[in-house]
């Protein structure tokens, strides 16, 4: 079984307030003398489902073309934080973890809001990131736009990730996937100098 846990990139895709909206413009359209369709994209590097590069939250961090792609491919566990408000905590997540899990995807929504922007999404407690790293987790994924609250200026969760060397996936859609362990396939594009990249995130039953 294969599950698509990506958002669809489209003109009405909700984006972080003030960020770049997605547009697709036809550069060439099939017709007399034109045998192909070719399009130009305008979008934020954080559009929809995306992988944050360390450079997003660390001025000396790696850009997305330099990250280890292997971390975005391999076994991952979906855990339940539905209904969480404020912060997703250690107490909520750690008892659910299977042994030797190295990638954790956190579902906070019953139904992820793909049509409207939710400015009150649940954030990740930095202490949870520390606990996950202590357990050998190397990637954290969320169905929210960010690990930190929208109003955060300290970026505490992202900085905890930077200290511990985890990878980040944000904006996933986990609504239709039963809780459990899957193979994650969510490779970022190799964009020179970029702080993030959209991903086509998939889960395959093991």
The binding site consists of: 16, 46, 50, 52, 158, 170
Lookup result for tokens 């003109």:
11
Residue 10 to residue 6: CA distance in whole angstroms: 12
Instruction: Determine whether 98 is an active site residue.
Output: no
Q: What is the spatial order of strands in the sheet that 2-4 belongs to?
A: 2-4, 202-205, 180-185, 73-80, 103-107, 139-142, 167-170, 50-52, 196-198
Distance of alpha carbon 41 from the chain centroid: 20
**Active-site hit among 13, 56, 144, 168:** 56
Q: Tell me how far CA of residue 8 lies from CA of 46, 63, 90, in angstroms.
A: 13, 24, 31
Kindly provide the residue ranges of all beta strands, DSSP E only, lying in 108-179, ordered along the sequence: 123-124, 139-142, 167-170
Residues in the annotated binding site for Zn(2+): 46, 50, 52, 158, 170
At 127 the three-state DSSP class reads helix
Residues in the annotated binding site for substrate: 16
Residue 176 to residue 143: CA distance in whole angstroms: 12
Lookup result for tokens 């850009």:
63
Residues with a known catalytic role: 56
């Amino acid at each position: 079984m294969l599950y698509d846990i990506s958002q669809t990139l489209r003109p009405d895709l909700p984006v972080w307030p003030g960020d770049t909206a997605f547009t697709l413009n036809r550069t060439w359209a099939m017709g007399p003398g034109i045998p192909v369709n070719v399009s130009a994209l305008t979008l934020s590097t954080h559009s929809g489902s995306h992988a944050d590069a360390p450079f997003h939250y660390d001025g000396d961090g790696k850009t997305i073309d330099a990250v280890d792609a292997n971390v975005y491919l391999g076994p991952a566990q979906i855990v339940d934080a539905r209904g969480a408000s404020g912060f997703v905590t250690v107490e909520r997540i750690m008892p659910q973890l299977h042994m030797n899990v190295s990638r954790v995807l956190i579902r906070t929504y019953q139904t992820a809001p793909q049509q409207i922007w939710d400015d009150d999404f649940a954030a990740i407690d930095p202490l949870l990131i520390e606990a996950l790293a202590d357990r050998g987790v190397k990637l954290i994924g969320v169905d929210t736009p960010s690990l930190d609250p929208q109003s955060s200026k300290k970026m505490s969760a992202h900085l905890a990730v930077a200290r511990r060397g985890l990878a980040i996936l944000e904006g996933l859609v986990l609504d239709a996937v039963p809780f459990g362990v899957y193979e994650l396939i969510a490779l970022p594009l190799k964009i020179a100098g970029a702080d993030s990249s959209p991903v086509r995130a998939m889960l395959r039953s093991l």
